[in-house]
Structure formats: structure tokens, C-alpha cells
Amino acid sequence: MRDFFFYLKSWLFFKHLAIALICLVFVLWGLIKLLDNYTQHGETADVPDFNGIPISELEDFVKDKNVRYSIIDSLYDAKQKTGIVIKQDPEAKTLVKHNRIIYLYVTSSQAPQIAMPKLIDRSERQALFMIENYDLKIGRITEVPGNCKGCVLKQLNNGKEIAPGMLVKKGSKIDLYIGKREVEYEPIEIDDLK
């Protein structure tokens, strides 16, 4: 044990310690430079605005932009053309590292299917409200004789009656047959009023 403490005070120990510290500094400095080069530290690119770009033109669009893209989801929007970018992450004009992947959402060519709501026996106003809430479109409304005034008697899609719960495409037109009560009046004679 005494030799060990004697060695710690010797010139040979300090020489080895200095060599180890110098080597450690050079290794850390080299590692930091390697990481800077690998991660392209300080080099950034502006994220371009992909909104409205058709899928077929994406390859040409990103050629000189220093970013890559990946389509991760398709969303249905009846108001948009199919096959165009409608959302991106990260947003346009954001600074990112070179060759960063930009995640894109495009419009779907097919509308998703939803379960048809039960409109029968509801008032016309309720039925119209439900059609809009389910992202369906209001078609033709026809009044027919029935036992209730203003109630939905039939719901149709493409001219065929559709039962509640059946699958229809979002944005489909729904035609309604609304009941109207025919009121019959008995003629009143003037003598009865006196």
C-alpha cells in the first residue's frame, strides 16, 4: 500500500496521467467533429409549401429543395380534387436539417363509408340536420300522403330505399319522402253560423 501512494507522487504517474488526458481531449474533439459532420450541424433547409401539389408532381417538386417526403395518410374531402397534398408536417417555411422527411397527407380518391342514420319517423328539420352532420348531401324532398305531417316516411339513395345502418359513401345524396296530411273540410252553411 505504501508503494502505491509513493507511485501516485512519482513523476511517471503524472506523465501517464498527462498522456491520458491529452488522448481523451483529442478523442472527444474528434467525436464532436464527427457528430457535427454526420448530423450536418448548422446546415438547414426551408420546408417548401406542398399544399395543392398533385402526387404525380412531387418527385420533380422536391428535386432541388434538400428535403424528402413521405405520404403517410389520405383524407377524404369532397371539396378538394383527389390526389393532391392538403396537409404537411412540419409546416411550410420551417427550418429543418438537410434531407429531412416531410410527412404529407393527400386527398383520397374514394369516399369512406358510413352507417346510414335512422331518419324515418323524424321531423323534416331533424332529418335535414342529421344528413348534414353525417357529411351527406340533401337530395330531392318529396311530399306524399301519409299519417303524419312533416315526418320522414322513406329515405332513399340513388333511387333505392336504404335502411338505417346500411353503409353509404360520405357525400352521397339522400332523397326523402315527407308525409303530408290531407285535410278535408266539411262545407259550412251560413245558417249554421247564426
C-alpha–C-alpha distance, residues 123 and 129, integer Å: 10
What pLDDT does residue 18 have? 93
Q: How many helices (H) and strands (E) does the chain have?
A: 5, 11
CA distances from 94 to 33, 41, 69, 104, 157 (A): 26, 16, 15, 15, 46
- For every one of its 194 residues, what pLDDT tens digit does the chain have, with 9 covering 90 and above? 778 777 777 888 889 999 999 999 999 999 988 887 777 666 777 888 888 889 888 888 888 888 888 888 888 777 778 888 888 888 888 888 878 888 999 988 777 888 999 999 998 899 999 999 988 999 999 888 888 888 999 999 988 999 999 999 888 899 999 988 665 555 566 655 55
Q: What sign does the CA torsion over 119, 125, 126, 128 have?
A: positive
Neighbouring residues of 81: CB distance < 8 A, sequence distance ≥ 6: 54, 107
Whole-model pTM over 0.75: no
Burial of 83 (0-12, 13-18, 19+ CB in 10 A): middle
Give the pLDDT score at 181: 62
Residues ≥6 apart with Cβ < 8 Å to 95: 44, 45, 46, 47
- pLDDT at position 41: 66
- Domains of the chain listed by start with CATH number: 44-107 (3.30.10.20), 113-180 (3.30.10.20)
pLDDT for 150 equals 84
Instruction: Quote the CA–CA distance of 137 and 141 in Å, as a whole number.
Output: 12
